[in-house]
Structure 1
Amino acid sequence: MEGVADLFKFVVKGTAFTSRDQKNVEVLQDSLFCISEDGLIAKIIQPDEAGYKETIQEYSTKGQLQELASDQYILPGFVDLHIHAPQWAQAGTALDLPLYEWLNTYTFPLEAKFSDQAFADRVYSDLVSQLLKNGTTTALYFATIHQKASLRLAEICSEKGQRGLVGKVVMDDPEQNPDYYRDDDAKVAIAETEAFIQEVLELNKHTPQGVYPVVTPRFIPSCTDKSLEGLGALAAKYDVHIQSHCSESDWAHEYVKERFGKNDAVALNEFGLLSEKAVMAHCGFLSDEDMQLFAEKGTAVAHCPISNAYFGNAVTPVAKLLNEYQVEVGLGSDISGGFSPNLFDNIKQAVISSRMLEDGVDKDCCSDKRGVKGSSLTLNEAFYLATAGGGESLSLPIGKLAVDYAWDVQFVTTKGLPIFSETEPLLDVFQKIIYLSRPECIQEVWVQARKVYDKTVEQRKEEI
């Protein structure tokens, strides 16, 4: 009989934190994570379970055991559900402008530059590397209208080891988009999107962690009826993911109501753009009927708390989506409407924004009417959004430390954090990690059991 060492690619010994469910975090203390050849968690062995000591001894002898230090902890890799990849080049600028002005003065001129393949390669390569460094193992991307540059983003994800879901953006309405940056017409937009889908599906055959095409109408105001209808048909034909913006701001929400006499959610559904594989960003103005429609269709919400503070005109009622309607929700950085590529920052802002919605912000209104009761999120719930919630939103086995889930993880250190007792409760340590960690606390990042970032190696490169 073969030894247990033949069953696993390697074993990691350490203490980990993962979402047990939406409200509770599970501590896996000094556990053995046994990783299969295909990059999945094949088994988790607790210290009091049979085979624990034997597995340590056998894998240590074979040089296939990685044991974390006492100040290192394992977190699931982050799942970022909403990133405008080209906007990385303008991150941190012009966030004091109204959305419409921001798009037309800064964003559209920048995205138009991605017709230049060399420029696209530089920006996208840096972005993917930075996101991995920040613990984002899976990312759902808007690219631009340019088919070749969009494919290059998918290729970079494949090469660097990130699980990427990439959409070639469609924006074909000549009345709403500048002449220098839009699809020629709906027919061209649909044809290029279909070709892009086929190219990425082919690329995925050679990408162990997965890279996926995404049908991506920018949002209803930028698209003609013909393109929206055609994109819905493509999503059904190829059974691929869908993404767009939905009821993001006063302006966008009211525009759709004036154009169709109905809310975004209803209109998107009638075009075939709500499904189990659909993720809609922002959703700050969903009605109860919209939320029920999302629940029925299995469509998820990408909550972008930092971006919404700048451009959303409202706080997305995440607790209501989760608890009353059981809508799947994850977190999005919304680069560059959100300035930070780090989901630690968005976890914290999700909690902050929910408290503001709960308590209200107008001091001249009485406390009984100032806020929306039942809106606040706990840190555990916000952590869930950044990890397991994102995985569920994408219908992928990611975001949790559990058997048959991908080994997508980040190793973080608590050095420099205010921990002064070896007996500090581990859930308190978890809270300090989430609230106080910075990117430099992340020491290693793994995707599908491939190490894609090593802080020590990166530091040595910088020193040379």
Structure 2
Amino acid sequence: MKQYMQIFHGTAFTSKSAKEVEQLVDYLFCINEDGIIEKIVAPSDSEYEKLLDAYSEAENFHRLADGQYLLPGFVDLHVHAPQWAQSGTALDLPLYDWLNTYTFPVESKFSDLDYAKKVYEDLVSTFLANGTTTALYFATVHKEASLLLAKICSEKGQRGLVGKVVMDDPEQNPDYYRDQDTQTALADTEEFILAVKDLAKSTKQGVYPVVTPRFIPSCTDEALKGLGELAAKYDTHIQSHCSEGDWEHNYVQDRFQKNDAFALNDFGLLRDKSVMAHCNFLDDNDAELFAKTGTAIGHCPISNAYFANSVIPIARFHKKGVDIGLGTDISAGSTPSIFDNARQAVVSSRMLEDGVNTALPAAKRGVPNSRITINEAFYFATAGGGESLSLPIGRLEENYAWDVQIIDTKLSTAKLPIFNANEDLYDIFQKIMYLTRPENIREVWVQGERVHSRAN
């Protein structure tokens, strides 16, 4: 009989499609030494009882308790890692004031590696405790601190995609916080890429360097062109902000006489491994360019409510073939939880469809066909995030990484309202998605390794 590194026995939920959740009841999940799901066995399969007999008393056999369920680990497509230090503050300010009064001063502190280590270790641990197994991180302009974040992800077992931020334009960035000059920004980025690729050789779950122009307003044309060339040279992921709010969208139009998406594409920054955050002001031509180039949207619904000046028509863009995942956007988003953002994604979509201005008649108040379901939000949080990053993650399927969270619905301090012993499984799934708190997340596994567990 084939030997497996780990076998899990329990009921799981995973996305079958964007709108359909698959229920895998009392299945066996067989994980190989590389942390990959090698085999999934249904109770009706001939091997099922043989595997139970062979493994049920073994140390590497994990039987979920009554009331526990498996979900794929969440994928967070937009995190400003240094901003964890300012989370929960100043969210009532306009974006420009928020950046210059709070954010840039905080990020400038990451030249101090001791400070960076303190913040980043707490951040990664907190994200793992919230079920986030993969995160796409903006770091800071500091090459050493950015590499430190990648090392912390490697050590703590999170799949981290990390970018050293480029902000080289002296006209648009504060004197105390920017790259020394364009040449230094590009040289530091290339050195960072090489260092992270070297680190990845000894990291089971993977760490990845990400080419990261903060956004067009912070970068010179020369830097944007050079970053596009570096991404192509090393086949890296790319991340930035795109058409987030009125200010950024209008700035790019004034500078290039075109929308953000087309300007980024001119510099080689839209490709299959590109993720652009927010994208609230994309038009249909922009969305079609995203679909054509394989560029994904990192949808940050809580952050958008604070700073984006609009609600993104996520259903319309997804229908056009654009890959979409969710992001917390710490700290413009007020929570490290993708659960919270999945819920807000549903809420925001319904507000867009129904409208908010009661002075208008109901038929003219909103944008038809804008709402998404909790099934779609779950898909964006898991499989959609994996597709956005072009990685085999986010699904409980064979040949995907074993990235999971074990949810306990019967925890005495955070019990979900399940009172019927024969409650419909889909209803349980919905309650998990809408009501789970960090206490309910009992264990988190990444690439077949336990990276988080709660004793209370």
TM-score norm. by structure 2 comes to 0.99
Aligned to 1:462: none
Deviations 1:1-52 (A, max 9, x none): xx23x2x112100000000010000000000000011000011111111111
Is 1:428 the counterpart of 2:423? The answer is no
- Cα offset for 1:316? 1.0
* Structure 1 counterpart of 2:145, one-letter code: A
Q: Secondary structure at the match of 2:56?
A: helix
Taking the TM superposition and a 5 Å limit, the aligned residue runs for 1:53-202 are 53-202=49-198
State the alpha-carbon separation in 2 of the partners of residues 373 and 70 from structure 1.
Answer: 42
Spell out the pairing of 1:28-427 with structure 2 (5 A cutoff): 28-323=24-319, 325-415=320-410, 416-427=415-426
- 1:381 is displaced (CA, Å) by 0.2
Instruction: Provide Cα deviations, 1:241-273, integer angstroms capped at 9, x if missing partner.
Output: 000000000000000000110000000000000
Q: 1:351 corresponds to which letter in structure 2?
A: V
Q: CA-to-partner distance for each residue in 1:393-412, whole Å, 9 max, x for gaps?
A: 00000000000000000001
Quick one: distance in 2 between partners of 1:449 and 1:308?
34
1:277-321: CA deviations, max 9, x gaps?
000000000011100000000000000000000000011111001
* 1:435-446 equivalent positions in 2, closer than 5 A: 435-446=434-445
Alignment correspondent of 1:452: 451
Give the residue type in structure 1 aligned to 2:442. Answer: Q
Task: Tell me if the contact between 1:10 and 1:59 (Cα under 8 Å) persists in the aligned partners.
Answer: no
Q: Work out the CA distance in 2 between the residues paired with 1:65 and 1:111.
A: 44
Instruction: Find the residue that maps to 1:27 and give its secondary structure.
Output: strand
Instruction: State whether residues 307 and 333 of structure 1, in contact with CA within 8 Å, keep that contact through their aligned partners in structure 2.
Output: yes
Measured against aligned partners, the alpha-carbon deviations of 1:322-360 in whole angstroms (never above 9, x if no partner) come to 11x110000000000001001110000000000000011
User: After superposition, what is the alpha-carbon deviation per residue over 1:49-92, rounded to whole angstroms, capped at 9, x for unaligned?
Assistant: 11111101101243321100111000000000000000000001
Residues 6 and 448, structure 2, Cα contact 8 Å, conserved in 1: no
1:159: how far off? 0.2
Report the residue type matching 1:369 in the other structure.
Answer: K
Distance 1:342 1:417 in 2: 18
Q: Partner letter of residue 247 of structure 2?
A: W
Verify: 1:25 aligned to 2:24, yes or no. no
- Assess if the C-alpha contact under 8 Å between 1:280 and 1:302 holds in 2: yes
| Contact 1:170–1:183 under 8 Å retained in 2 | yes
Conservation of the 8 A alpha-carbon contact between 1:56 and 1:65: no
* Larger displacement relative to structure 2 (388-397 or 62-71): 62-71
Partners in 1 of 2:214 and 2:365 — Cα distance?
Answer: 34
**Alignment coverage as a number of residue pairs:** 452
> CA separation in 2, counterparts of 1:380 and 1:190?
41
Letter in 2 for 1:336: S
**Cα distance in 2, alignment partners of residues 286 and 337 from structure 1:** 20
1:81-135 CA-to-partner distances (Å, cap 9, x unmatched) read 0000000000010000000000000000000000000000000000000000000
Q: Percent identity?
A: 65
Q: Which amino acid aligns with 1:272?
A: G
Distance 2:453 2:438 in 1: 12
Aligned to 2:19, the other structure's residue is in SS state: coil
Letter in 1 for 2:131: G
1:101 and 1:248 mapped to 2: Cα distance? 16
* 2-structure distance, mates of 1:9, 1:452: 16
8 Å CA contact retained: 2:304, 2:311:
yes
TM-score by length of 1: 0.97
Which amino acid is 2:449 matched to?
R
